[in-house]
Structure 1
Amino acid sequence: MTGTVGTAESATESAATTRSEHGGITEPSERGGLRIDRGVLRRIAEHAADSVPNCVRMRRRVAGLGTGEHGATARLAGPERQLRIRLDLALRYPAPIAETVSAVRERVRTELERMADCRVATVDVTVTALVPHPTAPRVE
């Protein structure tokens, strides 16, 4: 494994590079840019949707074989100031669908704005399944 170890001098030099010519600290916006990959924005939206009560994870099946679980699936379109999001998710049955979908929309909007400073224009939700509460095993 190769690498370099920073010293106290190199740390002081790097801190000095953030100072402007006039001795003040350079503003963060002047230091460089920030680009957040679409995959990260998609995962934020999916995680936000999955964290709403009554949204459930489904068992993924391929050719009749279980291959794990998945939660909400998001697709994004548009620029970061006008994101259009399409979500596919499963809900617990019998949950109030309209209230749950409204909570999902609000959570996705607030999380994307809070974490990535993105503005969401629309959140289209498709409920792909209604999953009943698991029943407790009966003892006979």
Structure 2
Amino acid sequence: MTTPGQRGTTTVADRAVRRIVERAADEATPGRTGRAARGSVAVHGPRAQVRLTVGLGYPAPLADTVRRVQDHVTERTRHLAGLDVRRAAVTVDTLTVRAAPLPTVNAEVDEPARRPSRRSSGRLRASRRGPVAGLLLAAALGCGALAVDVVRVRTGRPPAAWRTAAVDWLSGHGPGDLSVLVGGSVAALAGLWLLALAALPGRRKLLTVATPDAYPDTAIDRPALAALLHGAASGVAGVGAVRVRVRHRSVTVRAALAFGAVEAVRDDVTAATRRVLADCALRRPLRPRVRVRPEPTWRPPEPDLPKPRAAGTPGSPETAEPARFVRAGGDA
């Protein structure tokens, strides 16, 4: 009988793991509507790095739903592909109104073993694939051309014309030449740009969500949060058009007042905005700013008129003393 090491190696392609991950995400959100989940997978030995983009139904608890998706994807990938998912980054890009509430999956998946808490900076970091690919391509082309020319020289062939021309040009131009200063400035700016890309987290359109298990990769898109706030503000009585702007530190809600008192409507819109922000459970709470502007057709509400007094009460017209008439030149 052969040992497991002598039987060969089993390799699971990234495409197969991606199909498993996307199907598992769809299983964890059976009540959703719209397009299916989209994912990308990078397999490194026995581990897999997973990124998912899903659309959820509204209303739904975002933190709990995303945590259920992460747990279900991790469990199904470990069971079907034998890979350990250490990081499942989930991005919610759409929210779709649905009639039925989101059903739950198996209880074994709903209550998995708690992961150890880990610290997070509160921002999702961008992978910077474009700049990294460009830098690697330029470095590969330069190093490859230089290596080929060195091999040519070692084999007895003359050096390439581009290298001899570059050496001659550099020997005839000093640090004070304008072309050298321009080239150095461009190189310095490119270096500063690459350092800024490496230091800054990026992905400013995503706001991280605070979850009980400290998943640092759970986030909500700013347009999705703006849609939630727009729906909550539009549901307030007396509110017409609504405009919402979500920034990194604050949320601005501008509502047009069609009817009602300005102060009362502003308080209701503020309360609705605070409820939505509390339900989203953002890692960095946003500061709400509510502005209510009356429409041109708005009229202030009429003041409440005093109620008429009941008959028989003091001061009512029925109990008032009748007027006395005095005849001229005589007694009443």
In 2, Cα distance between equivalents of 1:44 and 1:80 = 17
Matched, 1:39 2:15: yes
TM-score normalised over the length of structure 2: 0.28
Q: CA deviation at 1:47?
A: 0.4
Q: CA contact under 8 A between 2:14 and 2:42: conserved in structure 1?
A: no
Residue 84 of structure 1 aligns to which amino acid in structure 2?
A: Q
Q: Residues 48 and 54 from structure 1, CA distance in 2 versus in 1: closer, same or farther, beyond 3 angstroms?
A: same
TM-score normalised over the length of structure 1: 0.64
Deviations 1:36-87 (A, max 9, x none): 11100000000000001356352xxxxxxxxxxx310011135143322110
Residue 13 of structure 2 aligns to which amino acid in structure 1?
A: D
Q: Residues 30 and 73 from structure 1, CA distance in 2 versus in 1: closer, same or farther, beyond 3 angstroms?
A: same
In 1, Cα distance between equivalents of 2:64 and 2:5 = 40
Q: CA deviation at 1:95?
A: 1.0
Give the superposed CA RMSD: 1.9
Q: CA contact under 8 A between 1:41 and 1:116: conserved in structure 2?
A: yes
SS of residue matched to 2:44 = coil
Matched, 1:122 2:98: no
Could you say which structure has the greater relative contact order, defined with CA pairs below 8 angstroms and 6 or more residues apart?
A: 1
Give 1 or 2: higher helix fraction. 2
Matched, 1:26 2:2: yes
In 1, Cα distance between equivalents of 2:7 and 2:16 = 23
Q: Residues 130 and 54 from structure 1, CA distance in 2 versus in 1: closer, same or farther, beyond 3 angstroms?
A: farther
Q: Residues 50 and 89 from structure 1, CA distance in 2 versus in 1: closer, same or farther, beyond 3 angstroms?
A: same
Q: CA contact under 8 A between 1:77 and 1:83: conserved in structure 2?
A: yes
Which one of the candidate residues 48, 55, 68 is aligned to 2:24? 48
SS of residue matched to 1:41 = helix
Task: Report the more deviating stretch, 94-103 or 72-81.
Answer: 72-81
Q: Residues 50 and 31 from structure 1, CA distance in 2 versus in 1: closer, same or farther, beyond 3 angstroms?
A: same
In 1, Cα distance between equivalents of 2:27 and 2:73 = 10
Counterparts of residues 1-140 of structure 1 (less than 5 Å)? 25-53=1-29, 56-58=32-34, 70-134=35-99
Residue 114 of structure 1 aligns to which amino acid in structure 2?
A: H
SS of residue matched to 1:104 = helix
Q: CA contact under 8 A between 2:33 and 2:57: conserved in structure 1?
A: no
Q: CA deviation at 1:108?
A: 0.7
In 2, Cα distance between equivalents of 1:72 and 1:26 = 41
- May I ask how many residue pairs the two structures share in their alignment? 100
In 2, Cα distance between equivalents of 1:55 and 1:79 = 33
SS of residue matched to 2:20 = helix
What's 1:64 paired with? none
